[in-house]
Amino acid sequence: MAYKVYFEDVNVGDQVPTFVRQPDFMHWNRFAAVNDEFVYLHMDDEAGRDGGNKQGAFGMGNLRFAYLHNMLREWMGDEAEVRELSVQFRALNQKREVLTCSGVIAEKKVEGAHHLVRLALDVTNQDGKSTTPGHAVVVLPSRRAMAQSAQQQ
């Protein structure tokens, strides 16, 4: 198997490559269609304004959650495992805002056979404002553990 990143390759303080999107109504509509999430506040400007957002319809929090998951997958590869992903939705995002997903390695540890990496996450808008702080715990492959396993066989 070809892995993108191994446990031995990462250190506390390392940043994972950012994941940037500029979603508009088309992106929201696709996400809503796939997830059956056609909520008026996210689809209709008048409903968004009636809901208290002067700019009209606003983005789905779960789309930002999905962007963070995409960022992790692109960094670690499909063979690694996302064990935990948790966020807080702290601000709305508007159409065509530039959303940047970021992650910083906060901790590394081995629990039994699992090589765990905890990351601090966020999605910021084009003004650098935090909209979706959170964390993830991922299980990465270990070169050392793979080599030991191969020697035992």
Give the residue carrying structure tokens 């490559």: 17
Give the residue carrying structure tokens 């390695």: 105
* Architecture of the domain defined by 7-152: Roll (3.10)
Overall average pLDDT of the 11-26 stretch:
95
Pairing of strands 99-111, 81-87: unpaired
Q: Exposure of 66 by Cβ count < 10 A (0-12 exposed, 13-18 middle, 19+ buried)?
A: middle
List, in sequence order, every residue forming a beta bridge with 50; answer none if it has no partner: none
Tokens of 17: 């490559």
Question: pLDDT-derived band of residue 1, with 50, 70 and 90 as boundaries?
Answer: very low
Tokens of 41: 């506040």
Cα gap 93→86, rounded to integer Å: 18
Which segments of 61-98 are extended strands (E)? 81-87
pTM: 0.91
Q: What is the pLDDT of residues 19-71, one digit of tens each?
A: 999 999 888 888 888 888 888 888 899 999 999 999 999 999 999 999 999 99
